[in-house]
A = this chain, B = another copy of it.
Amino acid sequence: MRNTSVRSRPWSIVLGLGLGLIATGALANDELMQMARDHSQWVMPSGDYTAQRYSPLDQITADNVKNLHVAWTMSSGSLRGHEGQPLVIGNMMYFESSYPNHVYAVSLDDPGRIVWSFTPDQNKFAPSVACCDVVNRGPAYGKGMIFANALDGVMYALDAKTGAVKWKAQNADPMLGQTMTMAPLVVKDKVITGVAGAEYGVHGYITAYDIDTGKQAWRAYSTGPDDQIMFDPNKTLDGATQKPVGKDSSLKSWHGDQWKLGGGTTWGWYTYDPKLNLIYYGTGNPGTWNPTQRPGDNKYSMSVIARDADTGEAKWVFQMTPHDGWDYDGVNESILSDSTVDGKTIPTLTHFDRNGFAYVWNRANGKLIAAHKFDPAVNWASGIDMKTGRPDVVADKMTKEGLNVKNICPSSQGSKDQQPASYDPDTGLFYVSTNHVCMDYQAFNVKYKAGFPYVGALVNMYPADHGDVGGRFIAFDPISGQTKWAVNDRFQDWSGVLTTKGGIAFYGTLTGWFRAVDLKTGKVLWQFKTPSGIIGNPITYTHDGKQYVAILSGVGGWAAIGLSNNLTKASEGLGAVGATATLGDYTNLGGTLMVFALD
C-alpha cells in the first residue's frame, strides 16, 4: 500500500486528443455535458446526469456477445468490496479501489499501464466504523480533475494528468462514526458529496464544494431546523401533498433532540436535471434502528430530496418510509427519464426504493405518479396510498422494542440497495438487480455514544421463503408495475446494470459471473466467471473505434459482509451474514478490473 504517494510519468506520452481539447476554462458541467454526449467515454459515475446507465454503443449485440472475451485485466490492489466503476476520459481510465482507496489512472493505449496512482494517508479508525464493508463507489471527473472520496471522510481533488493533490476537503469525521463511500457528483462549479454512518447516530448532510478551491459552498442536513435542512417552509413542496412543507416540518416529526442523531445519511448515487437545475438524492435510515426510541415520522430520513444545485435550497421532498422500523434507507438512485402517462409525456424520476416499491415522480415537483412493488416478496406494506404517498403498513410487520418480528420482507438490505439500475429507452423498461431476502427484526434500546454503533436492532436475514433464490434480475415497467421477466440467482444481485443499444443488459452475480442478458427475453446470452463476486457496475466505451465493456470484480459490501469479515457460517451470523453464509463456496475476496471485447 502506498501512502499519499503519487507516481507519474510524462503525460505527453499518453495524452490523447480527447481530453486535451476539452480541459479548458469552461464551467465543469458544460464540459461534462458535452463529454457525456460522446459515448466513446464514460465521464460520470452513472454515465451521465440521468443515471440511466444506458449506452447507444452497438458493436456488441445480442447476436455476437457470445464472442465476448477478456481483453485485459488489472488488480486493484485491495481485497474488499468494489461497488464502483471506472471512468473513461479520452484515452485514460480512472478507478478507485475499496479501502485503502487506491486511485489509478490507466492508459488505454497500453492497457494496464499505470500513469499515476494515489493512495491517501487515512485516519486508521475509519474502517472500524464502516458499517457495511469498506467499499467505494468510484471517483468523479470535472475540469481536469479526478475527485476521489476516501473512507475517512476526506475528498481529494487530483490533477487528472499527474495525480497531484490540487485540494482536499474534510467532509466527514470517522471519530463520530462518519465515513464516505459514495461517488461525488460534479455540477457546474461544484463537487457534491454525502456522508455515511447512520448506524452511528450520524446527523446526515450533503455538501457542495467549490470545484477550484475545495471551499464549502453549502451544506444541507437531512433533519433538524429549517435553516439547517435548507427548506423554505413556504416554498419547499411536500411531493406527496403538493403543498409547502410549512414551518419546522422536520423538527415536528421528532421528539426532543433525537433529530440530532437523526441519521438520514446520504451515501447513494446522485442525479441532476440541468434544465430544472435540481439535484436529486435520497436519505437513509433515522438514527437508531429501534423505532420505539424515536416516535414520529422522523423527517427527512427515508426521503428523496430535490435541491437547487447552486444554492442547496430544497425544491421538493418526498418521504417514502415515515417512522421507519426496518432500515429501509431511501438512498437509492433516482433515474431521470420521460414517462408517458395518460398520453402525456412527463419528465420523471424513477426510484427503486429499499422498501420494495418503485416510485415514479414528476421530477419538477415531486408529485407521485406511480408506486408498485417490484419484489413479489414484499409484505411489510400492502401498497402505497397514492393520495398521501404513505405506505399502507401491515400492522404485524411493524417492529417495536422488545419484540422479535418474524419474516419481514424485504430485509434491511431492501428489495434493492445501492446497486444502480438501468433504463433502456428502446424497450422503455428498467433493468434492476434486486434482493429477494427477508428477515426477523428485534429492536432494543440503545444509548448514543459518539463513534460507537447506535443500531438498536438484531436482524437475521435469509432468502425469501427460506428458498434458494436470493436475487432476481428483473425487467420492470414502473408505471404499470409489471415485471416482464426475471433471472433468478442464488444470492442477492448486488451489481449495477448497464443497458446498450446492442439489445443487451450486463450485470454480475455475487458468485462472480458477469452476464449479458437479452433485453427483450431475459435470456442469459453469455457469462464469464470473474475472479471474485461482482458488486460493481458495468460500463462501456470505445477505444480506437472498438467497443469495450468493463466491470470491477471484488466481492464485499453489505451483501457479502460475512465473507468480508470472515463470518462464513450462518450460525456465526447476525444481520446480513445468514443470507450469504455459503457464498464462500462460490467466490473469494479480491479486487480486479476486467475489460472485455469482441475478438
Binding site for B on A (CB under 8 A): 1-3, 5, 7, 9, 69-70, 72-79, 102, 104, 111-115, 117, 512, 528-532, 553, 566, 568, 582, 584-594
Contact = CB atoms under 8 A, between A and B. Distances in A.
Contacts of A79: 77-79
Nearest to A97: B588
A194 to B, nearest CB: 29
A548 to B, nearest CB: 13
- Of listed A7, A528, A587, A588, residue having the most chain B CB within 10 A: A588
A590 B2 contact: no
B3 A590 contact: no
Nearest to A3: B566
B72 A69 contact: no
A568 B532 contact: no
A-B pairs with the 10 shortest C-beta distances? A75-B590, A75-B531, A70-B70, A72-B529, A75-B588, A73-B531, A75-B532, A77-B588, A69-B69, A112-B529
A504 to B, nearest CB: 19
B589 A590 contact: no
Contacts of A531: 73-75, 531, 592-593
Contact of A588 (B69, B76, B588): B76
7 contacts: A72-B529, A74-B529, A74-B588, A75-B588, A75-B589, A114-B585, A590-B591
**Copies of this chain in the oligomer:** 2
Contacts of A553: 75
Contacts of A532: 75
Nearest to A531: B75
A516 to B, nearest CB: 16
A2 B563 CA distance: 9
Contacts of A1: 566
Nearest to A114: B585
Contacts of A586: 112-114
A406 B512 CA distance: 51
A488 B528 CA distance: 33
Contacts of A112: 512, 529, 586-587
A80 to B, nearest CB: 11
Contacts of A528: 70, 72
A568 B77 CA distance: 14
A494 B420 CA distance: 42
Nearest to A2: B566
A77 B587 CA distance: 9
A512 to B, nearest CB: 6
Nearest to A585: B114
B585 A113 contact: yes
Given A529-B112, A566-B1, A568-B2, A7 B69 contact: no
A593 B2 CA distance: 24
Contacts of A78: 79
A76 B114 contact: no
A111 B513 CA distance: 11
Contacts of A530: 73
A590 B588 contact: no
Contacts of A9: 585
B114 A77 contact: no
A117 B582 CA distance: 12
A529 to B, nearest CB: 4
A589 B75 CA distance: 7
Contacts of A7: 568, 582, 584-585
A152 to B, nearest CB: 18
Nearest to A591: B590
Nearest to A113: B586
A417 to B, nearest CB: 23
Contact of A69 (B70, B102, B582, B587): B70
Contact of A117 (B77, B584, B590): B584
Nearest to A581: B7
A589 to B, nearest CB: 5
A579 B269 CA distance: 44
Contacts of A584: 2, 7, 114, 117
- Of listed A69, A78, A117, residue having the most chain B CB within 10 A: A69
B77 A589 contact: yes
A509 to B, nearest CB: 11
Contact of A590 (B113, B566, B587, B592): B592
A493 to B, nearest CB: 18
Contacts of A104: 588
Nearest to A74: B531
A584 B116 CA distance: 9
A336 to B, nearest CB: 35
B592 A592 contact: yes
A79 B75 CA distance: 9
A112 B512 CA distance: 9
A588 B111 contact: no
A284 B207 CA distance: 60
Nearest to A119: B566
Contacts of A2: 566, 568, 584
A555 to B, nearest CB: 8
Contacts of A590: 75-77, 590-592
Contacts of A594: 73
A69 B73 CA distance: 12
Contacts of A587: 74-75, 112, 114
